[in-house]
């Protein structure tokens, strides 16, 4: 079992498309390995992004606010 960590990217208040692609790919890898998908949200406004990505099937969200 191997967990997978995906890191979000955002620009000008919007979550970048590559973040959603990372979440989808991470979910597939986690399913294949029997692990969980963890997501790192690093932002000055983590709540906004954490709420948005929480609907993407992430098992755990880790936030760092600066």
Could you report the per-residue pLDDT of 15-66, keeping only the tens digit for each? 899 998 999 999 999 999 999 999 999 988 888 888 888 876 799 999 998 8
| CB atoms inside a 10 Å sphere around CB 64 | 9
Helices (H) and strands (E) in the chain, counts: 2, 5
Number of domains within the chain = 1
Rounded Cα–Cα distance for residues 63 and 43 (Å): 8
pTM of the model: 0.84
> 3-19: per-residue pLDDT in tens?
999 999 888 888 899 99
Residue 55: which domain range? Answer: 4-65
Which residues, including other chains, have CB under 8 Å from residue 58's CB and lie 6 or more apart? 6, 23, 27, 37, 38, 39
């Amino acid at each position: 079992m191997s967990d997978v960590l995906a890191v979000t990217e955002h620009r000008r208040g919007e979550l970048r498309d590559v973040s959603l692609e990372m979440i989808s790919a991470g979910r597939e890898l986690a399913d294949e390995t029997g692990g969980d998908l963890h997501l790192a949200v690093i932002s000055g406004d983590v709540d906004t992004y954490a709420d948005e990505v929480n609907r993407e099937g992430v098992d755990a969200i880790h936030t760092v606010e600066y």
